[in-house]
Amino acid sequence: MEKTGIIIIGAGASGLMAAYVLSRKGRKVVILEGRNRIGGRIHTLERGLFSSAVELGAEFIHGNLPLTLRLLKEAGISNYPSRGEMWQAYNGELGRRSWNMPEWDELMVALDRLKEDISIAEFLAENFGEDKYALLRASVISFVAGYDTADPKIASTFALRTEWQQDDEADQHRITGGYGQLIDYLEMQCKVNGVEILLNATAKLVAWNNNQVQITLWNGECYLADAAIIAVPLGVLKAEATEPAALVFKPSPTEHQKAIRQMGYGAIIKILLQFETPFWVSSDASAIGFVLSDESIPSWWTQYPVPSNLLTGWLGGLPAEIKKELSEFELLELAIQSLANIFNRNENELRRELLAFKVVNWTTDPFALGSYAYDTVESHDARLVLRQPVANKLFFAGEYLYEGPAIGTVEAALSSGKAVAEQLINFIA
């Protein structure tokens, strides 16, 4: 069996970025990717089913994110601001979102006073347990589920405080042609530098000692390397060994595995619907961007400012975990019912006007098993452990290893891939 320099398991943004950095320094890299495509949780579906390219996974650049923007510039890929107006639909009333909740100011003051990190559920119970705060509690829990896709019982209050104190309202962008452009660019650069990318190559067993790493795939094929970068999602690392993409380590890096269990990883179901007409647009609602609601598929967005007949539904956190075993058609029905209630439309009419749909259940996708990481009270310490290589042979990379305001994003994945490649170059001359 021939030995390769470095094997990377996973061709998502972090694995590809690591390969790009390593191969630029002349390292021999092989990537093993379990799916029949690269990109992982970035998946731009080219025009076909829908009348334009659509994002099944990552869609927005959340803020002024240095590495993403630098790579886009290097690749000559443009992006555009995409934040339309925020609307809300509660108890059947659709209107512009009002931020007029005086309790929200009280929440920010109480957050500022917090000295020791606890879960957001505990924080709310301790500080806002009275009946008069019921609406505030519901709105915080729904935000934690919707945006962070997190379980409030373990989500860190400190991390949420940092997130809510940032003012990035104006800074949301989309990539022209989709995030897939960035993946294509990284793939092209990797290939030019001699990186080999193997698809349908699901790793199962990672056996390591002080000299080498041996990786065995599901089909029994074996690969030997000087070192390996494990760039699979946190959900896959947390999974039981019986899951199709789960990895078994021999010997087991016990400290690292404990740290993996301490980190938070959310749930998400994304639903894309294309209609005959953009019925949500009116003279009053010409710039409608996001709608938050109390429906079973609660969050929706348009393609504003690009004229489009596409609506995207978003179900995150525990509600997504609870509904993850529903069939595609059951989820589609929930989406139609939700839209009918939000926009006061007849369900049958909406079904007739529906031209195309796609339900993307990332929570049951065996190569993702969820959405993205969120901070628990223990995440910071766990990350310190996971950022250390195991015997200079196993290096972990992925969005969940990034420490900072862009947790869970493509920026986080790219930053982690870059950092781990640089670390590996230093360790292995």
Nearest distance, CB of residue 175 and ligand FAD, angstroms: 10
Would you tell me the crossing angle of helices 157-165 and 102-113 to the nearest 10 degrees? 120
> What is the longest distance spanned by two Cα atoms in the chain?
68
The window from 35-43, 77-85, 94-102, 120-128 that contacts ligand FAD (CB under 6 A) reads 35-43
Q: Does 174 bind ligand FAD (CB under 6 A)?
A: no
Binding mask 192-211 for ligand FAD (x = CB under 6 A): ----------xx--------
Nearest distance, CB of residue 108 and ligand FAD, angstroms: 25
Extended beta strands in 169-309, E state: 172-175, 196-198, 203-208, 213-217, 222-230, 248-250, 264-265, 268-275, 288-293, 299-301
Q: Does 232 bind ligand FAD (CB under 6 A)?
A: yes
Candidate residues 8, 9, 225, 335; the one interacting with ligand FAD per rule CB under 6 A: 9
Q: Half-sphere exposure (CA, 13 Å, Cβ side) for 415?
A: 20
Q: Does 11 bind ligand FAD (CB under 6 A)?
A: yes
Compute the distance between CA of residue 96 and CA of residue 110 in angstroms, rounded to an integer. 27
What values do phi and psi take at 205, rounded to 5? -115, 130
Q: Does 237 bind ligand FAD (CB under 6 A)?
A: no
Compute the distance between CA of residue 77 and CA of residue 93 in angstroms, rounded to an integer. 40
| 157: enclosing H helix or E strand | helix 157-165
Nearest distance, CB of residue 345 and ligand FAD, angstroms: 25
Q: Does 189 bind ligand FAD (CB under 6 A)?
A: no
Short-list 187, 182, 189, 217, CA closest to 202: 217
Nearest distance, CB of residue 246 and ligand FAD, angstroms: 7
State which residue, 16 or 124, has the beta carbon closest to ligand FAD. 16
State which residue, 111 or 332, has the beta carbon closest to ligand FAD. 332
What are the residue ranges of helices labelled H in 166-282? Answer: 180-192, 234-238, 254-262
What tokens does 358 get? 């796609």
> How many residues of this chain bind ligand FAD (CB under 6 A)?
42
Candidate residues 6, 7, 8, 13; the one interacting with ligand FAD per rule CB under 6 A: 13
171 touches 58 (CB < 8 A): no
Q: Beta-carbon neighbour count of residue 162 at 10 Å?
A: 15
What tokens does 354 get? 């529906």
Compute the distance between CA of residue 417 and CA of residue 230 in angstroms, rounded to an integer. 10
Nearest distance, CB of residue 277 and ligand FAD, angstroms: 26
Nearest distance, CB of residue 149 and ligand FAD, angstroms: 8
- Please, which of residues 390-429 interact with ligand FAD by CB under 6 A? 398-399, 408-413
Q: Does 34 bind ligand FAD (CB under 6 A)?
A: yes
- Please, which of residues 136-165 interact with ligand FAD by CB under 6 A? none
The window from 78-86, 110-118, 227-235, 329-337 that contacts ligand FAD (CB under 6 A) reads 227-235
Compute the distance between CA of residue 266 and CA of residue 318 in angstroms, rounded to an integer. 8
Binding mask 254-293 for ligand FAD (x = CB under 6 A): --------------x-x-----------------------
Nearest distance, CB of residue 191 and ligand FAD, angstroms: 17
Short-list 159, 187, 43, CA closest to 400: 159
Short-list 2, 58, 12, CA closest to 32: 12
Q: Does 317 bind ligand FAD (CB under 6 A)?
A: no
Binding site for ligand FAD (CB under 6 A): 9-15, 32-35, 40-42, 57-60, 62, 202-203, 231-233, 236, 245, 247, 268, 270, 362, 367-368, 371-372, 398-399, 408-413
